[in-house]
Amino acid sequence: MSLDTPYRAIFCDLLSDQTLDILPLRDVSFDDYIGKAGSLSGTIPIPNTDIAQRVKQVREGRTAVYLERGGDLWWGGIVWTTTLQSSGRGVLTLGIQAATFDSYAGRRRIREDIEYATPTPQLEIARRLWAELDVQTYPNAPENREPKRLGISFGDEDSKVLRTVSWRDGDEVVYLDALNQIASMKDGFEHQIMIYRDPISGQRIRQLRLGEPKIVNGATDLLFDRPGAILSYSFPYDATRGGTTAVARGASVNSNAGTESHPLVGEQRFDEPLLLDDWPLIDLSSDHNEVTDALTLSALAAAELAQARGAVVIPAITIHLGGMVPPALIGRMARIRIHDEWFSQGLDARYRIIGVKVTPPERGRPDTAELYLEEA
């Protein structure tokens, strides 16, 4: 980051969260989403030996990085890859690629039998899965060694939907896939690791945020106008990603060892309102190799069809990041007002912010954010 950037990069030990250093970052961009891990990329300049020794503390897989703006934490995650480069003129840099703390669940696998035979609130299952991830234990660990923790805290969101699910040791199911398996079912939920400072202690907090069925943040709508704060917008409609029917396939089943195995298939779902409106049959299909229950597969197909019915559209707007824009944008409701040649009568609609991509100011470039939207 250049000297006039409003952001600063704080590098910390991943497990203890102890600050290692505050280092300059250039060519930075970062994003965050509901439903998938966000990312950060940037370059640390290394002009001399002293800086090189400080930068050597940044160790992939063991270092967390936070971006702070105006005292607020805007992004936090894990440094997963680094690239040391020397140019033809001998200029040294370290490129970093990081992902939000959600990505940790994508690097761990279930290696014990987990079963919820009795109907259990789905958000409680999600919290328990993350609780297992949080504690860093392993066989034959020294008895006098206090178990380390990733430091994920939990809320008390209420859950009305009950699930019966199980995963087996040996299937090597990724924890994130297990979470998404439940979340993507009909009447599922959303999950995200949010970061913020405790208003009293100032401590950095990593908290699992859950929403059933959706994460909604903030009591009032944010207002964005064009002409005004909206610099540009896009409404991409894509019928290649949507459909009017859906089928979900599960684990392979074979009751006869002498015959070829085949995947378990749930009931095909149809979007009748679209078909009655003369949409053609457009098929969606998905695979869930860990699912062994036909009813679960039918629920997954219904949920996938609801999310991708007809033509998929994810509107996006690009805005100036001013002092009135809060850091916790994910899940906020936004009122979008546009008046131009296309929206000659004026667009005035409410959307939920489901993704944010921020480009910090650098070399005269303004501080902007691209907001990805979902119809409210």
Q: 312-341: per-residue pLDDT in tens? A: 899 999 998 876 788 889 999 999 999 999
Q: Which helix (H) or strand (E) holds 235?
A: none
First to last CA, the chain: 36
Q: What is the average per-residue pLDDT within 124-131? A: 97
pLDDT digits (tens, 9 = 90+) for 44-90: 999 999 999 999 999 999 999 999 988 899 999 999 999 999 999 88
- What is the rounded CA–CA span in Å between residue 328 and residue 74? 7
Burial class for 40, CB neighbours closer than 10 Å (0-12, 13-18, 19+): buried
Q: What's the mean per-residue pLDDT of the chain?
A: 91
Q: What average pLDDT score do residues 96-117 get?
A: 96
- Rounded distance between C-alpha atoms, residue 351 and residue 343, angstroms: 17
Amino acid at 7: Y
Element (H, E) at 54: helix 49-55
Predicted confidence at residue 254, as pLDDT, reads 66
Q: What gap in Å lies between CA 324 and CA 321, rounded to an integer?
A: 8
Q: Predicted confidence band at 292 (pLDDT cuts at 50, 70, 90)?
A: confident
pLDDT band at 2 (very low <50, low <70, confident <90, very high): very low
Q: H/E element holding 82? A: strand 72-86
288, two tokens: 């869930």
pLDDT score for 376: 83
Question: The pTM is what?
Answer: 0.87
pLDDT at 219: 86
DSSP 8-state symbol, 218 = E
Cα separation, 197 vs 206, whole angstroms: 9
